[in-house]
Amino acid sequence: MSTNAKTHRGTAGVLAFLALPLALACGGGESVEPLTPMVATELGVVEGVQLDSGILQFSGIPFAAPPVGDLRWQAPQPAAAWEGPRDASEFSAACWQQLSPPGAFYDSGEIERSEDCLYLNVWTGAEHAEAAYPVMVWIHGGGLQTGTGSTSLYDGESLAGRGVVLVTINYRLGPMGFLAHPELSAEAELLAGNGTGTSGNYGILDQIAALQWVQANIAHFGGDPGRVTIFGESAGSWSVNYLTATPLAAGLFQRAIGHSGGIFWPMPQLADAESEGARVAERLGANDLGEMRAASVEEVYQAAAESEALQFVGLNDGHVFPRDVHDIFAAGEQNDVDTIVGFNSDEGTALFAGAPDVTVADYRQSLEATYGEHADAMFAVYPAETDEQAREAAYVNTADNFFAWQMRTWARLQSSTGSRPIRMYFFSRVPPWDEAETYGSYHAAEIIYAFDNLHLSGEGRDEIGPFNHAWDDTDRALASTMANYWVNFAATGDPNGDGLPDWPVYDPDADGVLELGDEIGVIQGLLKDRLDTFDAYYEDLRSGG
């Protein structure tokens, strides 16, 4: 719950409902029921809180059944209905995950974790259910391994105050959300009976279930289910990319914003992921699905670590993803929606802060191992003459691979094969703090600006960790501008508006990107030589080179 929340619950909601018949009788005409902290959803009444600002906040609303017992490693199932008001004043537990080590740059701290975690949160400033505000659904990052929708950084009060209904969600993570196994695929086929049996991708299916809940319920909170924007950062942006690619999410949203994350390199294939899952089961000592599901979540994570399973991420399973995301976009088969994508100027600084020192020789060897015959071309655009330069060149190369190239590829493919416009941004503002020179505009630095949540940090507010900076007027102006762009986009599909610098539609020939930094304006040909080198590498890789 927001720290300035007043728990105007219970009595206020009941009185509002009791007063409605009297208002109708005395008004002599039509009356619109005011929105209160007591809202009736399709499954039952939820009782949230009214914040000092007047925004209503509802926390811990179930959008699927708890994925425990026999429902572990199954597609999300419908949540059960309830009788009487359900308390929606407190966040749910985060989905189970390994906690970050103390002192890590993105230290999650101590958080409550559970397999019973498929809940979402809603902030709304609508005065009545018929307001039909645009809806923004935030998908958190964390590599699909960590994170939660209840992080204070994602507090939705400010954006809700600008005329949107803001939703944040949880989804299953790591081996609980993305483990594939031959028996799980066979079980899914038995249940489906239509040739779509598969396993893995449960976390993506959770996100789809949350969007289905939005379609069925968000109008009760004053939201418009016909104007839904999905947005997310890092793995949350991967998720936005996944959702724009999967046919299972068709029609569930109309716009998308991706912050620093796309999946345009080759995806893991189902057979390989099933083999990794079989190794996890073997390490777990489980002979069948019953024994796998009987193991504790801690035992599953330990077995996953000991089996050296490579990754628990979205995979090409032939069902959720009929083919790789790149190929879906290249064929024009994506969910064709208005889109914004972008990345930050110093994505690698915080992510690779603990990386070991490397020599120039180490760096050259790494390029050869990763890029093969393209290693010389990579070294030409990421050069290094000293060991210190080699370390920086290595993480800049990796950051471009993970972020800059992914976002430009997204922009180019959508502009080429889609009918809806896409725009691109480059966030370069360096937050003011003692280590600004070291970290620059680091990975995730832009989130607090987009949410216009600078006021949540400051002296004594260290719960948002590395985002706790001494903001100045430039930061506050940028946060207001970004929030306005994002909200305008959610409302109309166009971020532009009165008093805002013009943001043009992306054109691959002009290659224009809106810089969001100390100054705001369009720059052209950003990182062109570097990203063109990645184009050549991946084109060769896809052709079998």
Bridge-based pairing of strands 45-47 and 86-87 is parallel
In angstroms, the first-to-last Cα distance of the chain is: 52
**Residue of 2, 185, 199, 234 marked catalytic:** 234
**Residue pair 57/1 in contact by the 8 Å Cβ criterion:** yes
Please name the amino acid found at residue 182. Answer: P
Task: Look up residue 274 and give its amino acid.
Answer: E
Phi, psi dihedral angles at 178 (to 5 degrees): -140, 20
Q: Are strands 94-95 and 113-114 parallel, antiparallel or unpaired?
A: parallel
Known catalytic membership, residue 234: yes
Question: Which residue in the list 347, 415, 441, 457 is annotated as catalytic?
Answer: 347
| Separation in Å, CA 98 to CA 151, 176, 177, 350, 382 | 16, 12, 13, 19, 34
Beta strand segments in 373-516, E: 422-427, 512-516
State the amino acid at position 432 in one-letter form. Answer: P
Burial of 539 (0-12, 13-18, 19+ CB in 10 A): exposed
Catalytic residue among 181, 443, 446, 469: 443
112 is catalytic: no
CA separation, residue 191 to residues 185, 249, 397 (Å): 10, 21, 45
Can 259 be counted among the known catalytic residues? no
Residue 174 class from Cβ within 10 Å (0-12 exposed, 13-18 middle, 19+ buried)? buried
Which residues are known catalytic residues?
Answer: 234, 347, 443
